[in-house]
Amino acid sequence: MRANPTSAKVYRVAVFLLGLVIVVVGLLLIPFPGPGWLIVIGGLVVWSSEFEKAQSVLEFVKKNLRLWEEWVRRQNIVVKALVGLIGIVFIATVLWLTFHFSGIPGFFPDWLVDWMRTTARV
């Protein structure tokens, strides 16, 4: 494929577009609980197969993620619990805001719907 300049260019454009779609979807999902950042990193992996700049960004992300993980592992249990609590509060806030503005899906129990309506009036 690389021997033919036209097919090589088409391939690079296809890799760019596929990576772009994956990164954009991941960025849209970041505020919600789930794998938003993981999807963005997946898009970087796709891009890094063809683009050197994406490889360097991916290496930067991996390096800093490892540093964060090592830092958290070195902390005492109180700091680890605080980091976890901050994460849980953030996710709960995002869920509450999502349900508040877009409504609660029908598969949730009635007590949750009633509770959301009660807290929304406060």
Q: Please tell me the distance from the alpha carbon of residue 113 to that of residue 93, in angstroms, as a whole number.
A: 16
Q: Please tell me the distance from the alpha carbon of residue 122 to that of residue 118, in angstroms, as a whole number.
A: 7
Cβ neighbors of 100 (< 8 A, separation 6 or more) are: 116, 120
User: Among residues 43, 40, 31, which one has the least CA distance to residue 95?
Assistant: 31
Q: How far apart are the first and last CA of the chain?
A: 62
pLDDT string in tens for the chain (122-residue length)? 667 888 889 999 999 999 999 999 999 988 777 788 899 999 999 999 999 999 999 999 999 999 999 999 999 999 999 999 998 898 888 788 877 788 777 787 888 778 777 776 64
The answer to pTM > 0.75 is no
Residue owning tokens 């938003």? 36
